[in-house]
Amino acid sequence: MKRRTFLNLSAGAVAALGDLSFLSQLGAVRAEETRLEPGMVALHPEIEPLVRFLEETPRERVLEELAGKIRRGLSYREVLAALLLAGVRNIQPRPVGFKFHAVLVVNSAHLASLDSPDSDRWLPILWAVDQFKSSQAADVKEGNWTLGPVDEKAVPPSHKAKRALIDALDNWDEAAADAAIAGMVRTAGASEIFEILARYGARDFREIGHKEIYVANSFRTLEAIGWHHAEPVLRSLVYAILDRDGAKDNPAKADYSADRPYRQNTKQVSEIKPGWMDGKDDAAATGEMLEALRYASPSEASAKAIELLNRGVAPRSLFDAYFDCSGELMMRSPGILSLHATTFTNALHYNWQHCRDEETRKMLILQNASFLPLFRGERKAGVRIDELEPAKDPVTIEDVFAEFSKNKEDASRKILRYLKDEKEPRAFAQAARRLIFQKGTNSHDYKYSSAVLEDYHAMAPRWRDRFLAATSFYLKGSSDPDNQLVQRIRAALA
């Protein structure tokens, strides 16, 4: 895109799709505020009072009073840290969804802030604060769960903590796992713990992928707020990973369908040949994998992934198929299940990129292949994302988002045409985020938009525009109604 064209879009068309100028009264959030600085490792004395403020201030007043604190110098990172800690302390991570989305969405809101202009960065976090208060009220009605103190007598010494954690996770032993993760956090590094939890988060299909999503989101948020906040966050995470979703028998000693892909892949992972990371990008192989995911069983899908890796196909080409499969599922049947095919794949891909253990990386790429047929269910027919054609006539960004509220498939074609002509998704992404800020009504709006606008950049050109085209089936259009929160913040700041 020509520089002048992009600047015109950014200053004109994109801004017109969502006027958030009222946020200027809070002051801009500079990009460096959202990144962890080396000196910020100690817990600030103010964090506990701020957490209590979020916990105790009524929902109808919290945004207005928080805005006052921000005007007096409260930083973005302090608000982000307090928000995450308030969530893990007050909201039960079982099920790992529903009201617990107030915790899961914190990283998505943070990503939305990172990729926004300085002037817009407060809105996603303020929205997430309101979401926390809503979920906190729901948790109170359901029994008022609170994360209690760890059993200090059960915390293993440093040289035994890792083995104790793995044994406890293998045996679905909640008490032992809680003590072991506390011991590891106090003595081990973040990467060592991440390697373990990334694998166990993808172990079973209970909670439709939310366990792996929580692994990615918790570690990513800790990167922004500081590792010194890790213990309560990871205790909550381990408690979530061990959710049996109502199963009466210990999954370690039973044969539940949710556990079968992992057990099968544990046996098959050794079939992947050495040098599998050295494969070449192969668009045709991506098409093969995508076709398999339309019809294959979980075991057949992972077998296909092994076949392609052993043929010398790069892992990225498999992930291209995983991403486009999730996009196709959204186009065929927009809803919660297809949405989580996208957010799960986003989380697993992030975890896969950041793991160093080769065995774990193999398991994750096979688990992603096995889980996508479970997100698909029995539905095996419908639109094919690789057959979607761009609109015939050139379109503006206003045309694209206006069509979202009218005809989803036509909007997909317009996205393809727009990306074909402009070659650059930045203006599209900015407009999409602004419309989420202004019109999003639930955590899934933030989770989904943050996932797709991140994953686009990881894909090969041939496949990524089609993936982005599928977003018309869930992102907000310019004619959708504004959410009440934006109106409330505007009134509070007037």
User: Region 349-362: what's the mean pLDDT?
Assistant: 97
Q: What is the pLDDT of residue 17?
A: 65
Structure confidence at residue 416 (pLDDT): 96
258 pLDDT band (50/70/90 cuts)?
very high
Bigger pLDDT: 366 vs 38: 366
Cα(313)–Cα(460) distance, integer angstroms: 13
- Measured CA to CA, the distance from residue 73 to residue 68 in angstroms comes to 9
Q: Which residue has the higher pLDDT, 22 or 295?
A: 295
Of 42-51, 188-197, 212-221, the least confident: 42-51
pLDDT reported for residue 423: 80
Alpha helices (runs of H) in 333-381, residue ranges in sequence order = 336-354, 358-376
Residues 77/33, Cβ–Cβ less than 8 Å: yes
Q: With 80 as the cut, is the pLDDT of residue 177 above it?
A: yes
Tens of pLDDT, residue by residue over 364-393, are: 999 999 999 999 987 777 899 999 999 999
> Is the Cβ–Cβ distance between 446 and 131 less than 8 Å?
no
Q: What is the pLDDT of residues 298-323, one digit of tens each?
A: 999 999 999 999 999 999 999 999 99
The beta strand positions in 73-163, using DSSP E, are none
Q: Identify the three-state secondary structure at position 313.
A: strand
pLDDT of residue 44: 41
- Nearest-angstrom CA–CA distance, 328 and 268: 27
Residue 31 has a pLDDT of 57
Q: Which of 78-87, 100-109, 112-121, 185-194 has the lowest mean pLDDT?
A: 112-121
Q: What is the mean pLDDT of the chain?
A: 90
Residue 58 has pLDDT above 60, yes or no: yes
Q: What does the pLDDT average to over 131-154?
A: 94
258 close to 205: Cβ distance less than 8 angstroms: yes
Q: How confident is the model at residue 5 (pLDDT cuts 50, 70, 90)?
A: very low
Confidence of residue 485 (pLDDT cuts 50, 70, 90): confident
DSSP state of 228: G
- Its sign, for the CA torsion 396, 402, 403, 408, is positive
Share of the chain above pLDDT 90, in %: 80
φ, ψ at 236 (rounded to 5°): -65, -40
Share of the chain above pLDDT 70, in %: 89
pLDDT at position 37 is 41
Whole-model pTM? Answer: 0.91
Over the stretch 447-458, which tens digit does the pLDDT of each residue have? 999 999 999 999
Q: 5 or 56: which carries more pLDDT confidence?
A: 56
State whether residue 483 is helix, strand or coil.
coil
> Does pLDDT of 36 surpass 90?
no
Region 156-163: mean pLDDT is 98
